[in-house]
C-alpha cells in the first residue's frame, strides 16, 4: 500500500471522528421541571434532545436518539402539554402530570397543522420557519421557529387539581 494512501486514509478517519465528536457535543438535553424547561437531565424524567439542524427527540434514561435531519427551510417545535397536580398559591409548583392524547393545533395565518401529544405529553414537529400560535384545550402560546433550530413550548391545560 502506498504511503500517500495510508496518510489520506488516516486524515479521512480523523476528519470523520472530529465531525462526529463535534456533532455529539452539539446535542443538548432539556427536561421539564414543573413550570418551564431546564437544560440538563433528571433520572426518571423524559429528556428533550436538541441539536441544530436535527429533528428534536424525546428520550428516556440512557436511550440514544436517532439522528434525523430537519427538512430544508424548517425548524423543530417541541410541545409539552401538562396539568399541575401539586402546589398552588402557597406551595411549590413543581408537581405536574403529562397530558397524553391532547389535540394540538399550530397556526400561521391561513396555514394550520394539527397533531396529538404522545403518552409522555409531547408532540414533535418540523414546520416552516415563522411565528406560530400553538393551541391546546383553549390555551394559547406563541412559538417563533427559526430555520434549522428548535423551540420548546410548554402549555398547562385544564384546572389545577389543588388550590
Domain ranges of the chain: 3-156
CA-CA distance, 93 to 120, in Å (whole number)? 19
Question: Is pLDDT of 7 > 50?
Answer: no
Determine phi and psi for 132, rounding to 5 degrees: -120, 150
Residue 143 makes CB contacts below 8 A (sequence gap 6+) with 77, 106, 131, 132, 133, 134, 151, 153
Whole-prediction pTM: 0.79
Instruction: Write out pLDDT tens, residues 18-56.
Output: 444 444 447 899 999 988 999 999 998 999 999 999 999
Residue 91 vs residue 132, higher pLDDT? 132
Residue 114 buriedness (CB in 10 A; 0-12 / 13-18 / 19+)? exposed
Torsional sign, CA 88, 162, 136, 35:
positive
Work out the percent of the chain whose per-residue pLDDT is above 90: 64
Fold of the domain built from segment(s) 3-156: Immunoglobulin-like (2.60.40)
Closest of 83, 73, 65 to residue 124, by C-alpha: 65
Question: Across the beta sheet with 47-50, what order do the strands follow?
Answer: 37-39, 28-32, 47-50, 57-59
Residue 89 vs residue 142, higher pLDDT? 142
Amino acid at each position: 500500500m502506498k504511503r500517500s494512501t495510508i496518510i489520506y486514509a488516516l486524515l479521512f478517519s480523523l476528519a470523520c471522528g472530529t465531525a462526529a465528536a463535534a456533532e455529539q457535543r452539539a446535542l443538548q438535553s432539556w427536561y421539564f421541571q414543573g413550570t418551564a424547561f431546564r437544560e440538563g437531565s433528571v433520572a426518571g424524567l423524559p429528556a428533550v434532545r436538541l441539536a441544530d439542524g436535527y429533528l428534536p427527540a424525546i428520550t428516556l434514561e440512557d436511550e440514544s436518539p436517532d439522528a434525523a435531519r430537519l427538512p430544508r427551510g424548517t425548524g423543530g417545535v417541541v410541545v409539552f402539554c401538562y396539568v399541575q397536580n401539586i402546589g398552588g398559591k402557597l406551595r411549590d409548583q413543581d408537581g405536574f402530570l403529562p397530558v397524553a392524547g391532547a389535540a394540538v393545533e399550530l397556526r400561521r395565518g391561513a396555514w394550520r397543522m394539527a397533531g396529538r401529544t404522545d403518552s409522555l405529553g409531547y408532540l414533535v414537529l418540523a414546520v416552516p420557519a415563522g411565528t406560530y400560535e400553538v393551541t391546546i384545550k383553549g390555551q394559547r402560546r406563541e412559538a417563533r421557529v427559526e430555520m434549522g433550530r428548535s423551540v420548546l413550548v410548554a402549555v398547562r391545560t385544564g384546572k389545577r387539581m389543588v388550590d
